[in-house]
Amino acid sequence: MPINLEDPKKLRPLRDQVHQVAMNMLRPISRKYDKAEHTYPKELDMLAAMADGLNESGASEGAGAAGVRRDNSSTDTTVRNGSNMASVMSVAEMCWGDVGLTLSMPRQGLGNSAIASVADDEQLKRFAGVWASMAITEPGTGSDSANIKTTATKDGDHYVLNGEKIFVTSGERSDAVVVWATLDRELGRAAIKSFVVPKGTPGMKVERLEHKLGIKASDTATITFTDCRVPAENLLGSPEIDVKQGFAGAMATFDNTRPLVASMAVGCARASLDLTRELLAKAGVEVDYDRPATVQSAAAAKFLQLEADWEAAYLLMLQAAWMADNRKPNSLEASMAKAKAGRVGSDITLSCVELCSSVGYAEGELLEKWARDSKILDIFEGTQQIQQLIVARRILGLTSAELK
Amino acid sequence: MSLLQSLKGGGRHGVPASESRDPIGLAVAALNRLAQSQVLDRLGVRKQAEQTVFTVTRSGFKVATNAGRTFAKAGKKGQPGVRVPSASRSGVFDLTPTEDEQMLVDVVSEFAQEVVRPAAAEADESCTAPDDLLKSSLEIGLPILGIPEALGGISESRSAMAGTLVAEALAKGDMGLAVATLAPGAVATALGLWGTDAQQQTYLPAFTGEEVPAAALALNEPRVLFDVLAPSTTATKTAEGYVLNGVKSLVPRGAEAELFLVGASLEGTPALFLVESKTEGLEIEGDPAMGVRAAGMTTLTLTDVKVGSDAILGETDGSTYVECVRLSRLAWCALAVGTAQAVLDYVTPYVKEREAFGEPIAHRQSVAFMVANIAIELQAMRLVTYKAASRVAQGIDATREIALARKLCADKGMQIGLDGVQLLGGHGFVKEHPVERWYRDLRAIGIMEGAVLV
């Protein structure tokens, strides 16, 4: 088969459907929930039910964060454009509509991604339909997630959790929280496990919701765990502390979610580019793809640069998802995609505000909102700097002890 | 010229014309001229002025173009030539080259590593590609890649993707030599794409035969803010054909070329003209530049050059011309990807071996992150270029994709060239290492028009 980087033919109908949903359901309520921070977007319930229906009917290959599980049993060697590509393409379309609302979609949280990635078959069945959010970050631990202080102590057929988690997306709205905790702080990253903690478990308390720069439709919670007892079977994956395997199990989630965050940045940035192109045209600036940028207006030249960077991020995103679909190790490419998409997401949305002057800066348009929403995408699921660190270590063949 | 005029400060040597010399400046300038003439005499350099052998490294020395061969007229005039179909559309996203493409890339990569890279430094210095290197490039079939199989080439369907992969692989060896070896193929591919039966039958046998002519696609012009879509070279219609006037710059291997494909404005619309080197009114001059020197860049001056009515290649409505410009830019993107990959492959072991403050500099984030960004932007350049190429191969409009690839490869390619030198520090600035050459070569992307084409 020849090299081809067009959107996969079989996924185009899904992409176009999701685009219609984003345009007709998310955009009309986009500003409303940017203003009404911490108000639950009730409109999303119907949308989530629709997404569930799509998933069950098999009409989509996982339109959200659900479908990131790798099937290693297949010996099929034909090239696949599967669930990972479907996910990044549809999440990009949803985020073209609204990043905050997409992150608030019931049952499409990053916790669901973690469950899909590391749960065993019994757990997969038991947690089906559960809306799970993800709790990793702590007040004193950010990018160095191996250093978390929340503890899990075995007591009979339960684990007892103690600690404080911050920046839990949809932490109040979700049905359960996937909590990272250490079984033994002496044993480092190998002892870190994830636990599904159902909402209402005694000892778990949502302390407060954050007020943020952007993605205000998405709630961000601080949650404390005080002698919080969780059934032992809610530990995702193996309870053994395998020092050799180390952090790999837990970190595997990120290989799957980083292309998704890249797709969020890609979607949000395209919203800015689409509108800016139209506003520039109304102002008399048409971008010419054939004339040298140096003989066009500065605005057109800038737009060309932004669009070129966007195209780069989009294709790096597709590449990472395509590799996952075809069972190729993609942690380098996933980080490349997130690094590029994260930084160009900010550059594009901020530059579009500048190109559109006060029209871009004022709340009359959504350009200023997209410029606020995009910033988080260069931070969560591994900051720009963490992605560069991962890429650098891979390219240079250096360990984390050599390149700190 | 009076002495006073010749000592005027501005307008030469990169000094803006608004500059004027004060009395001390005048004295220094006069002294400098005297010193120069003494140097000339002492070294006997003046004798070289009488030398008639053309070298690209010396500008201001015009000669007539290569007498060249006579291309025997053949084929049916006005009859459309052979066209290859577009590649099939699978509809599946796939980054894996076909088996044929992979074999081709393997062969060219070996050639680039074993033959091209070792010859690069000297070719850069002398502004010429070694003869044996050019000969072996013919053996691996570079000029016939884009010629239809029915006309003795190897292309069964549109070969833009294969051409892109080959250009990338060659430029990993050296960009200048890649351009030197690909230049004839650019003209041959254009004949395959747009030639009439007569044009294909007249010229292509030479390219598929034993003695492949040097040939050059000449689109650039020596003008500030040059817009390739509005060339100032003109073609005027006459009873017998056309008369061409103008100057083309950065024409690869112009001294040896036997066939030029020249861009000129015909009644305000740009078009392509086939001009044989033996035609009267052609002059070439060395046009060495900052980089891509091994390609033997020249300017081609056309003074009342008369060509026949069958010299036009493709349409006169500008559509063929703009398509040619795009396909040429795409080829330059592929070259940028190859050279940028060479930079990454070179700096990676270097920063791990080079020590400062008691450990390899690669252990410092400011160094390591620079390498990471080279890797990220390089892969981005590659994917955006491949997307454009695969669209061309499949017969899908690629106007937007080629424009974006050119912008990205010009910006990020230059950044990679810059960082490549920076990572080696002072060692990057000296010619002991190739990074300074890649820095100079990568500046060509975004400036170059023509010369190569996929």
Domain boundary among A205, A236, A267: A236
- Looking at the structure of chain A, the number of domains it has is 3
Query: Would B433 be classed as within a structural domain?
Result: yes
Minimum Cα–Cα distance from B446: chain A residue: A292
Residues of B in contact with A404 (CB under 8 A): 363, 365
Q: How far apart are CA A153 and CA B94, in angstroms?
A: 47
Query: Would A317 be classed as within a structural domain?
Result: yes
CATH number reported for the structural domain that contains residue B436 in this entry: 1.20.140.10
Q: Do B327 and B433 sit in the same domain of this protein?
A: yes
Query: Would A16 be classed as within a structural domain?
Result: yes
Q: Do A202 and A278 sit in the same domain of this protein?
A: no
Q: Do A215 and A262 sit in the same domain of this protein?
A: no
Each residue's pLDDT expressed in tens, for chain A with a length of 404 residues: 789 999 999 999 999 999 999 999 999 999 999 999 999 999 998 888 877 766 655 444 433 444 445 555 556 678 999 999 999 999 999 999 999 999 999 887 778 888 887 888 999 999 998 999 999 999 998 888 788 999 999 999 999 999 999 999 999 999 999 999 999 988 888 889 999 999 999 999 999 999 999 999 999 999 999 999 999 999 998 888 877 665 665 666 677 789 999 999 999 999 999 999 999 999 999 999 999 999 999 999 999 999 999 999 999 999 999 999 999 999 999 999 999 999 999 999 999 999 999 999 999 999 999 999 999 999 988 999 999 999 999 999 999 999 99
Residues of A in contact with B101 (CB under 8 A): 3
Q: Do B434 and B326 sit in the same domain of this protein?
A: yes
Q: Do B272 and B339 sit in the same domain of this protein?
A: no
Q: Do B327 and B438 sit in the same domain of this protein?
A: yes
- The distance of B429 to chain A (nearest Cα, Å) reads 23
Say which DSSP state B430 is in.
S
Query: Would B451 be classed as within a structural domain?
Result: no
Burial (CB count within 10 angstroms: exposed 0-12, middle 13-18, buried 19+), residue B61: middle
- Looking at the structure of chain B, the number of domains it has is 4
User: What is the pLDDT at residue A68?
Assistant: 46
Q: Do B306 and B333 sit in the same domain of this protein?
A: no
Query: Would A241 be classed as within a structural domain?
Result: no
Residues of B in contact with A392 (CB under 8 A): 365, 368-369, 371-372
Question: Catalytic residue numbers of A?
Answer: 381
Burial (CB count within 10 angstroms: exposed 0-12, middle 13-18, buried 19+), residue A346: buried
Q: Which residues contact B408 (CB under 8 A, 6 or more apart)?
A: A308, A309, A311, A312, B380, B381, B384
Domain boundary among A73, A94, A123: A123
Pairing of strands B312-313, B269-276: antiparallel
Q: How far apart are CA B31 and CA A184, in angstroms?
A: 82
Q: Do A255 and A387 sit in the same domain of this protein?
A: yes
Query: Would B89 be classed as within a structural domain?
Result: no
Scanning A334-353 for CB atoms below 8 A from B yields: 336, 339-340
Q: Do B208 and B223 sit in the same domain of this protein?
A: no
Q: How far apart are CA A276 and CA A320, in angstroms?
A: 28
Domain boundary among B173, B190, B212: B212
Query: Would B86 be classed as within a structural domain?
Result: no
Each residue's pLDDT expressed in tens, for chain B with a length of 454 residues: 455 555 567 778 888 888 877 766 666 666 666 566 554 455 444 444 444 457 777 666 788 888 788 899 999 988 999 999 999 898 999 999 999 899 999 999 999 999 999 999 999 999 999 999 999 999 888 889 889 999 999 888 899 999 999 999 999 999 999 999 999 999 999 999 999 999 999 999 999 998 999 999 999 999 999 999 999 999 999 999 999 999 999 999 999 999 999 999 999 999 999 999 999 999 999 999 999 999 999 999 999 999 999 999 999 999 999 999 999 999 999 999 999 999 999 999 999 999 999 999 999 999 999 999 999 999 999 999 999 999 999 999 999 999 999 999 999 999 999 999 999 999 999 999 999 999 999 999 999 999 999 9
Q: Do A389 and A255 sit in the same domain of this protein?
A: yes
User: What is the pLDDT at residue A296?
Assistant: 97
Cβ contact (<8 Å) for A79 and B92?
Answer: yes
Q: Do A334 and A370 sit in the same domain of this protein?
A: yes
Cross-chain CB nearest to B363 (options A8, A304, A402)? A402
CATH number reported for the structural domain that contains residue A101 in this entry: 1.10.540.10
Domain boundary among B175, B195, B212: B212
| CA proximity to A165, closest of A138, A142, A194, A203 | A138
Cβ contact (<8 Å) for A392 and B369?
Answer: yes
Detail the DSSP E strand segments found in A156-219. Answer: 158-169, 176-182, 192-198, 204-209
Query: Would B453 be classed as within a structural domain?
Result: no
User: What range does the domain containing A137 cover?
Assistant: 130-236
Cβ contact (<8 Å) for A6 and B391?
Answer: yes
Cβ contact (<8 Å) for A312 and B408?
Answer: yes
| A-B contacts at Cβ under 8 angstroms | 174
- The distance of B357 to chain A (nearest Cα, Å) reads 14
Query: Would A403 be classed as within a structural domain?
Result: no
CATH number reported for the structural domain that contains residue B111 in this entry: 1.10.540.10
Helix (H) or strand (E) run with residue B398 in it: none
Query: Would A401 be classed as within a structural domain?
Result: no
CATH number reported for the structural domain that contains residue A181 in this entry: 2.40.110.10
- Which two three-digit tokens encode residue A330? 């993609």
Query: Would B452 be classed as within a structural domain?
Result: no
Helix (H) or strand (E) run with residue B174 in it: none
Query: Would A2 be classed as within a structural domain?
Result: no
- The distance of B406 to chain A (nearest Cα, Å) reads 9
Q: Do A352 and A303 sit in the same domain of this protein?
A: yes
User: What range does the domain containing B113 cover?
Assistant: 99-212
User: What is the pLDDT at residue B288?
Assistant: 94
Residues of A in contact with B396 (CB under 8 A): 6
CA A161 distance to own-chain centroid = 26
- Which one of A3, A143, A288 makes the best mutation probe of the B interface by having the most chain B beta carbons within 10 Å? A3
Q: Which residues contact B5 (CB under 8 A, 6 or more apart)?
A: none
What is the residue whose two structure tokens read 């030198």?
B421
Burial (CB count within 10 angstroms: exposed 0-12, middle 13-18, buried 19+), residue B302: buried
Q: Do B134 and B149 sit in the same domain of this protein?
A: yes
Q: Do A260 and A230 sit in the same domain of this protein?
A: no
Q: Do A28 and A156 sit in the same domain of this protein?
A: no
Is residue B185 within 8 Å of residue B146, measured between CB atoms? Answer: yes
Q: Do B203 and B224 sit in the same domain of this protein?
A: no
- The distance of A231 to chain B (nearest Cα, Å) reads 43
Q: Do B327 and B418 sit in the same domain of this protein?
A: yes
Q: Do B301 and B332 sit in the same domain of this protein?
A: no
Q: Do A24 and A164 sit in the same domain of this protein?
A: no
Q: Do A256 and A383 sit in the same domain of this protein?
A: yes
Q: Do A16 and A86 sit in the same domain of this protein?
A: yes
Domain boundary among B186, B212, B238: B212
Cβ contact (<8 Å) for B372 and A339?
Answer: yes
Cβ contact (<8 Å) for A1 and B373?
Answer: no
Cross-chain CB nearest to A292 (options B87, B95, B227)? B227
- Long-range contacts of residues B29-34, Cβ cutoff 8 Å, at least 24 apart: B33/B7
Residues of B in contact with A85 (CB under 8 A): 93
Helix (H) or strand (E) run with residue A230 in it: strand A220-231
- Which two three-digit tokens encode residue A363? 């709340």
Query: Would B190 be classed as within a structural domain?
Result: yes
Cβ contact (<8 Å) for B352 and A396?
Answer: yes
Q: Which residues contact B26 (CB under 8 A, 6 or more apart)?
A: B7
- Which one of B376, B399, B415, B449 makes the best mutation probe of the A interface by having the most chain A beta carbons within 10 Å? B376
Q: Do B140 and B46 sit in the same domain of this protein?
A: no
Scanning A231-290 for CB atoms below 8 A from B yields: 289-290
Query: Would A242 be classed as within a structural domain?
Result: no
Chain A interface includes B334 (CB < 8 A): no
Q: Do A109 and A143 sit in the same domain of this protein?
A: no
Scanning B233-272 for CB atoms below 8 A from A yields: none
Q: Do B350 and B250 sit in the same domain of this protein?
A: no
Query: Would B114 be classed as within a structural domain?
Result: yes
Scanning B71-100 for CB atoms below 8 A from A yields: 87-98
Q: How far apart are CA A179 and CA A163, in angstroms?
A: 10
- The distance of B175 to chain A (nearest Cα, Å) reads 22
- Which two three-digit tokens encode residue B170? 């060659």
Q: Compute, in degrees rounded to 10, the torsion defined by CA atoms A353, A359, A364, A368.
A: 10
- Which one of B84, B92, B93 makes the best mutation probe of the A interface by having the most chain A beta carbons within 10 Å? B93
Chain B interface includes A298 (CB < 8 A): no
Query: Would A404 be classed as within a structural domain?
Result: no
Q: How far apart are CA B120 and CA B199, in angstroms?
A: 35
Domain boundary among A76, A92, A123: A123
